Amino acid sequence: MTVASITVSETPLVLYALRRADDALILGHRLSEWCGHAPMLEEDMALANMGLDLLGQARELYAYAAKVEGKDNTEDTFAYLRDVRQYRNLLLVEQQNGDFARTMVRQFFYSAFADLYWRTMMTSRDATLAAIAAKSEKESAYHLRHSSEWMVRLGDGTEESHRRAQIAIDDLWAFTGEMFSVDDSERGLVDAGIAVDPETLRPQWLKIVSGVLAEATLARPANDWMQKGGRIGHHTEHLGHLLSELQSMQRSFPGATW
């Protein structure tokens, strides 16, 4: 027996909060998959810590989405009872962990963006979003530092670590453009001073990424073709598998607590 998915009234602000919450939940879940499997105990803890930071961000954003929507949905129903097509996260964050280099490249691309994004969002006219941004920025700043240090060590490390890091960069690069896209729903929030136009952050993001990659002796891909679709629920095949694990308990035993 399974429980049906919820319906969500995706007004611009609800959709906005869900998109950021989904980014954090899915990336946090990916990091949690490393728990007990990381190359060393120290990194096992570091990955789990980052995952928990992201889970905390997701919870606050889901709770806010639920409040704005004003219906029966809660942070739990948003996380556990939406189907894959209802998820609004970036394609980047749902990509599989792969090897350690791939996980770190994914983290680096996202954290470099998230840190800029949250820092700018601290001046949002929406007091709740500004407060969430202020808390999240401190966390993403550390995620960026940690993943940057690893980029340099992997890229400028051994021949094998360099090769693996470069493959991950080349594979994931096409998913980075989606971070900077804005649709009509979000454009209204940007104009109202509630949301940030991520396109304005792209030069800074490129500067940060280029700087770290250069220090890491890694090449920035020349290819500018970008994949997108996550923000409207068109996901890669990986998200469904992730959700089946994340949601299996609540789908099988609705409302179960322990």
Partner 1 sequence: MATPNTPLWEVFIRSRNGLAHKHVGSLHAADATLALQAARDIYTRRGEGLSIWVVPSSAITASDPAEKGMMFEPAETKIYRHPTFYDVPEEVGHM
Which residues would be at the binding site for partner 1 (CB under 8 A)? 40-43, 45-46, 49, 142, 145-146, 149, 153
At its nearest, how many Å lie between partner 1 and the CB of residue 28? 15
At its nearest, how many Å lie between partner 1 and the CB of residue 224? 33
At its nearest, how many Å lie between partner 1 and the CB of residue 161? 11
Q: Whose Cβ is closer to partner 1: residue 2's or residue 158's?
A: 158
Structure tokens at 70: 């004003």
3-state DSSP percent of the chain in helix, strand and coil, to 5: 70, 0, 30
Q: Whose Cβ is closer to partner 1: residue 42's or residue 72's?
A: 42
> How many CB atoms are closer than 10 A to CB 194?
18
Q: Whose Cβ is closer to partner 1: residue 142's or residue 180's?
A: 142
Task: Compute CA distances 208 → 14, 108, 153, 204, 215, whole Å.
Answer: 31, 10, 16, 6, 11
Q: Whose Cβ is closer to partner 1: residue 124's or residue 161's?
A: 161
Q: Give the integer Cα–Cα distance in Å for 180 and 199.
A: 5
Half-sphere exposure of 213 (CA within 13 A, CB side): 20
Q: How far is CA 11 from the centre of its chain?
A: 21
Structure tokens at 113: 């963006």
At its nearest, how many Å lie between partner 1 and the CB of residue 205? 22
At its nearest, how many Å lie between partner 1 and the CB of residue 153? 7
